[in-house]
Amino acid sequence: MTDRYDVIIAGYGPVGQVAANLLGQRGFRVAVFEAATRICDLPRAAHFDGEIMRVFQYIGLAEAVLPACAAIRGMKFLNAERELLFGFEAADRRTNTGWYAGYMFYQPDLEAALQHGAQRFAEVHVFPGHEVLDIKQDDGGVEARVRNLASGDERSVRGDWLWGCDGARSATRRAAAIDLEDLVFDQPWLVIDTMLKRETPLPDFALQICDPARPTTFIPSAGKHRRWEFMLMPGEDPAEMELHENVWRLLSDWVCPEDTEVVRAVVYSFHALIAHSYRSGRLFILGDAAHQMPPFLGQGMCAGIRDAANLAWKLDLVRHGLAGNPLLDTYYDERAAHVRTIIGRAVQAGRLIQTTDPTVAEARDRMFLAGAERMHSPDAPGGELDIRMPGLTGGLLSRTGVGSAAGDIFPQTLVERDGRPLRLDDALGEGFAIIAGPDDARVLSEAAQEAWAFLSPSFVHVQPPTAGGRPGENALTVRDREGFVLDWLRANGVAVVRPDRYVYGAAHKADDLIAMAAAMRKQLGARSRSGVPS
């Protein structure tokens, strides 16, 4: 008899691992198939931002992944003479995600934490050493033919849905007949990963060295891991550049063999690609299967994890009859526009770095060196290059109100609940949340709460540290220790926050909040308790 699952996941890198945790957390029966039999012991991705740490927090693994990470100090763009052109300074402060702006990490340790996390869920079944050979779908579900690579045995498994987290050469994307759009950025770079043998005076900022003779990237990473990336120049052979002597010729300006051990040296071609769709029927693609970008902003893995965080709760609503199948189309609507913006910024950074014409480089340097302010905050406009993460511009968002915060990510801060300190998200639960400030009791009225009851959201009343009161019998009170969320609520009104922590909409009036619930029902195609469409 063919095994049956709710979701089949093809591929078990970081995106597949986060997907397995998200789905397991929501009670899905999941089968994961991965050709590798163990965690890859080589680093590949090296950075994630505060929003991704917030996803790890959501799946209960933030504390587990922290030992693999180090908060990033920032990034500097330097010219050939190592003069500062511009940069971003993260400093030792939390952003509106409740975490630091970015983290460097050692991928094998991160994957170990994520895989261990997935073992918490009895209904998540992981099959290492298994290759997905063929995928077919019909009205009743998806059938995947898989091969045990050790024994050669083949079998079929069925699922209601299949998620392709299977990388740039995605078999899922091919089975779904989804094409890629080429955004015209192709450049080979030599990536060298090392592990320090001893204390070595290296920069603690990520460096983008805009040297027309050899554009270079240095990444301080976490623990003893350090990474260099060197652009290949015209006429250089990739295989020759990977040779030991050429690797050390490039590293010699930074370290010597007594300082560090080379654990990997490989030429990668950086690309900018995005799929024309992320869905075909019951098949979805995520991560590198759906989009690829140059690594200059460290957003490749981040984008894939955002994919999983966007799709998991939507599929859960559909599974429970709280939304119709069209909700799943908003996955592409929301994620593709978001990713396209980030790819554009990464390409812009790459073109600044990869300038090889000395005359053009000199003009570029003069322009930047003439600027007065060259170090920026990562969550503020950067002038030369904006690295802020965009909000959502379409999909499941409220159309109510002028100047609405719909599409913004809702801020997270430290709060107190019953005298106990915690991060706000830990008080919100896994589903929707409706969050009110101290003066919003009339907005979050009993009628408004009843209008939203079909989604069983958490109703949260945010108060100053010493205030009392609550907006309704069913609301949870937390106290904002830092005032950051209170400021947001005063400016925008009562917030309807989605499970992925993006704002569906905000309202200053109870009638608007009730109207927003009706609009949400219509967008979801939600059914009433009697089973009749609302």
Please report how the helices 107-118 and 14-25 are oriented relative to each other, as an axis angle in degrees rounded to 10.
Answer: 20
Q: Residue 234 is encoded by which pair of tokens?
A: 């015209």
Please report how the helices 300-319 and 14-25 are oriented relative to each other, as an axis angle in degrees rounded to 10.
Answer: 30
Q: Is the pLDDT of residue 296 over 70?
A: yes
Q: Is the dihedral of CA 162, 113, 338, 97 positive or negative?
A: positive
- What is the pairing mode between strands 3-10 and 154-164? parallel
Chain centre distance of CA 451: 32
- Among 373, 526, 505, 367, which Cα is nearest to 435's? 505
Instruction: Report how far residue 186's alpha carbon sits from residue 447's, in angstroms, rounded to the nearest whole number.
Output: 56
* pLDDT tens profile 389-430: 899 999 999 987 545 799 999 999 999 998 899 999 999 999
Beta-strand runs (E) in 90-148: 102-105, 124-128, 130-138, 141-148
Q: Residue 13 is encoded by which pair of tokens?
A: 């890198």
- Among 148, 177, 184, which Cα is nearest to 348's? 184
Report which DSSP code applies to 502. B
Fold of 3-68+105-182+275-341: FAD/NAD(P)-binding domain (3.50.50)
Q: Report the pLDDT value the prediction gives residue 499, as an integer from 0 to 100.
A: 98
Q: Report the pLDDT value the prediction gives residue 534, as an integer from 0 to 100.
A: 34
pTM score: 0.94
Q: Which one is predicted more confidently, 404 or 449?
A: 449
Instruction: Report how far residue 120's alpha carbon sits from residue 60's, in angstroms, rounded to the nearest whole number.
Output: 11
Instruction: Report how far residue 398's alpha carbon sits from residue 517's, in angstroms, rounded to the nearest whole number.
Output: 9
Instruction: Report how far residue 405's alpha carbon sits from residue 403's, in angstroms, rounded to the nearest whole number.
Output: 7
Side chain identity at residue 273, one-letter code: L
Q: Is the pLDDT of residue 12 over 60?
A: yes
> Token match 């909409």: residue?
505
Domain spans of the chain? 3-68+105-182+275-341, 414-524
Percentage of the chain modeled with pLDDT above 70: 93
Same fold yes or no, 3-68+105-182+275-341 and 414-524? no
- CATH code linked to domain 414-524: 3.40.30.120
Apex 307 CA angle, 275 and 410, nearest 5: 130
Name the percent of the chain in helix, strand, coil, to the closest 5: 30, 30, 40
